[in-house]
Structure 1
Amino acid sequence: MIDPKKIEQIARQVQESLPKGVREFGEDVEKKVRQVLQAQLTRLDLVNREEFDVQTQVLLRTREKLALLEQRLAELEGKQSAAPANKPEDE
């Protein structure tokens, strides 16, 4: 999930960029910004970096296995086409 510390940091930066009159509401504004950010980021259905890295490794291993299977299949097909065809004898 999203790192709460990052959301707090972004909320703080947004609050600091607001005009001084709005900024005086301080904690309430920061709290609302944090809630809105959390809600919007949750809607995006994001994954954290660790999960992304794990899935990347799974994909790489899957690609390697697929490449090996394709190579093996090509070798088997090559052997099959090189072998003489057994024709049934005429009766």
Structure 2
Amino acid sequence: MLSQKLFEEISAKIGETIAASPAKDIEKNVRAMMASTFAKMDLVTREEFDVQQAVLARTREKLAALETRLSRLEAELFPEETAAKVEEQSELGHS
């Protein structure tokens, strides 16, 4: 019990000393400088990043589905051209 009280007193004294020293002013200045620099860097929060990442994933899924749908429609409407494209891609893949 005595050691806990002693520890708390020492911690309080150290805190008071630091608060009254130039170190506290330096800390405040460094924090302000860092905040200013980060503001200039136009950073986004992690939450904003995660939201945009989810939007991008959904967009990619929709694009893939639309590409598949377009390929099917082209195959139905233009079977000769589609067969020629498939053959051409097959030849390019084997070269």
Question: TM-score scaled to structure 2, two decimals?
Answer: 0.60
Unaligned segments of structure 1, at least 5 residues: 1-23, 84-91
Query: What is the number of equivalent residue pairs in this alignment?
Result: 60
Q: Among residues 28, 32, 36, which one is paired with 2:33 in the alignment?
A: 36
Structure with max Cα Rg: 2
Taking only the aligned residue pairs, the percentage that are identical comes to 50
Letter in 2 for 1:40: T
Deviation (angstroms), 1:82: 2.5
- Corresponding residue number in structure 2 for 1:25: 22
Q: Among residues 66, 69, 73, which one is paired with 1:69 in the alignment?
A: 66
- Superposed structure 1 runs of 4+ greater than 4 Å apart: none
| Partner SS state of residue 42, structure 2 | coil
Unaligned segments of structure 2, at least 5 residues: 1-20, 81-95
* Greater RCO (CA < 8 Å, at least 6 residues apart): 1
**CA–CA separation in structure 1 for the residues paired with 2:58 and 2:71:** 20
| Higher normalized helix content (fraction of residues) | 2
Deviation (angstroms), 1:59: 0.1
Deviation (angstroms), 1:81: 1.0
